[in-house]
Structure formats: structure tokens, C-alpha cells
Amino acid sequence: MRSCPIWRDLYASPVPAHTVIKNGFLYAKNKDKEWRLVLPSTFKFDGKNYLELAIAEAHEATAHGGIEKTMKALTDKFECQSFSKVVKEYIASCDTCQRTKYSNQAPVGLVVPLHVPQRPWTDISMDFLKLSPVFTKCCSLYANIPSDEDHMLCISRLWTIVERHSGFKFLIPVHDKLTAEQCTGTFDTHVFPTMGYPFSILFDRDTLFMSDHFQNWARKNGIKLEPCTSYQPQTDRQLEIVNKEILQVARACKAEGDE
């Protein structure tokens, strides 16, 4: 036990107040002020790591219980600084647990394909694409701002809107601090005059699109919102291909010195 790097200092003289050496073994008080045998991570018995043997025994004694039950059975007898991590690793690799325990994950549903638009300007998809920040004058983006205004705006995202039937694209530069109110206002200014309000919008779960304001705006204008499946950006493959094309063009222009 003296060779264990975790508990080596506890053998130093004088022995700390919460520990005691008896018959060559080290005992320490737990949080309940009860004495427990210190179990170093390097201590071996018959060539086997005793910590792993103790965990295996406690795990089997609890009928392959979970982490909390196994930890409770261990701490009733032993004290060790590395219990939690080692117990989690052991239970995760326990063959009996993997074969006999029920899964807590929600059942996997069937793949539901996206509906195919029957005519143009009825269904769109949208996403934000992060780009290198560029400073530009507000009047170059918004027609209602006089040209003599010299306010600068940092553009760092591109709002990509794709008409799913024809593939027509709207590319609208926006800033990082875009709010839900500004988002719907930008749509009304740049997209609505061309195509009107669509029947449905396919989008990822961006906080702007999931906000109450955006949901109320869509409900007011008769738009059906279709959020993509969580952690599945490939749901809308068409939009992902458009984003890849835009990034490829941006990298090519930057490589040739065209900002």
C-alpha cells in the first residue's frame, strides 16, 4: 500500500488525524466519521487488482445493481478516492448488465420521408451559415437607410432560404445579434415580395426559429413549421448541399484574395 501514488503521503509521519495504521493496513474515516479500510488502486491480491475484485463482488452482491447501489456496497467496507470513475467503467463493461438490463432510450421510430412539393413557392427550407465576419455599411443592406449614414455592421452569418420545388435560393447576410423580431422582419422585406408566405417551412432547431415570436408569426400567416429531427442535420439534404456549395465558393474567393 505504501507504493500507491494516491495514498503514499498518508503513510508520512505524523499520520494525519483522520487516518490510522493498524497491522500494516491503513484505515481512514469517511464522511460519517466511521473507520473504513483504505483500498489503494494499485493493491494486488494473488496477482489481481484488489480494487477491481472488490467492485466485482459488490456489484454481484447487489444483483448487478446500478452505480449508486454498487457504490453504497463498496463504501460500507472500503474507502477509496477513485471509486466513482472505476465503478462507472466497470458497470459499463459488465457483460451480464448489457445482456439483462432494459434500455432506457426511447424506441427508435420509422424514418418519415419529407413530402415532395407539388408546385413552386409553397415549401421552403432555411438555415444559418456561419462565415468569416465582414464589416459593411448599413445602407448597403437596408434600402430604407439613407446613404449618408456611415454606421457599420458586422456581418458574420448568411441566412440561406431554399425554395424546395425549384431550388431557388435567397442568400441574406445577417449579424450574430439577430433577434426573432428582426428575423421575421427581414423575411417580410426580402422574401415575401417575391414569393409571398409559404405553406410550410423546414428548419433546424435554431433558437430563433423555435422562439415564441417566430412561432406566433408563422401561425398568424398560416405557415406550417416543420423542425428537423434533433441531431440529424442530414434531414434536409437539399439545404446541406447548398451550404456546402456556398462554403466552397467562399473558400475559393478567399484563396484568390477576393474578400
Instruction: Name the phi and psi angles at 247, rounded to 5.
Output: -65, -35
Confidence of residue 233 (pLDDT cuts 50, 70, 90): low
What type of residue sits at position 243? N
Does the pLDDT of residue 13 top 50, yes or no? no
pLDDT confidence bin for 243, thresholds 50/70/90: confident
- Work out the pLDDT band at 34, boundaries 50, 70, 90: confident
118 vs 12: which has the higher pLDDT: 118
**Which amino acid would we find at residue 257?**
G
255 contact partners, CB below 8 Å, separation of at least 6: none
Residue ranges matching CATH 3.30.420.10 in the chain = 123-255
Reply yes or no on whether the pLDDT at 18 is more than 70. no
| Topology of the domain comprising 123-255 | Nucleotidyltransferase; domain 5 (3.30.420)
Residue 5 has pLDDT above 50, yes or no: yes
pLDDT tens track for 44-101: 666 777 778 888 888 888 888 888 888 888 877 777 666 778 888 888 888 888 888 8
pLDDT at residue 12 in the model:
52
What is the predicted pLDDT for the residue at 7? Answer: 53
Every domain of the chain with CATH number 1.10.340.70 lies at: 8-99
pLDDT in tens, 177-222: 888 998 999 999 889 998 899 999 998 888 899 999 999 999 999 9
Higher per-residue confidence, 157 vs 9? 157
Domain range 8-99, its CATH number among 1.10.340.70, 3.40.50.300, 2.40.50.140, 1.20.120.140: 1.10.340.70
Helix (H) or strand (E) run with residue 214 in it: helix 212-220
Task: State the pLDDT at residue 125.
Answer: 92
State the pLDDT at residue 214: 95
Residue that wins the pLDDT comparison between 102 and 64: 64
Q: Give the confidence band of 147 by pLDDT, cuts at 50, 70, 90.
A: low
Residue with cell 407539388: 118
Least confident of 112-116, 137-141, 208-212, 243-247: 137-141
Mean residue pLDDT across the chain: 78
- Residue 92: predicted pLDDT: 86
Angstrom distance (rounded) from CA 97 to CA 82: 22
DSSP string of the chain, one letter each residue:
-TT-TTTGGGGSSSPPTTEEEETTEEEEE-TTS-EEEE--TT-EETTEEHHHHHHHHHHHHTTS--HHHHHHHHHTTEE-TTHHHHHHHHHHT-HHHHHHSPP-SPPPPPP-PPPPPSSTTSEEEEEEEEEEEEEEEGGGT-TTS-TT---EEEEEEEEEEEETTT--EEEEEE-TT--HHHHHHHHHHHTHHHH---SEEEE---TTTTSHHHHHHHHHTTPEEEEPPTT-GGGSHHHHHHHHHHHHHHHHHHHTT--
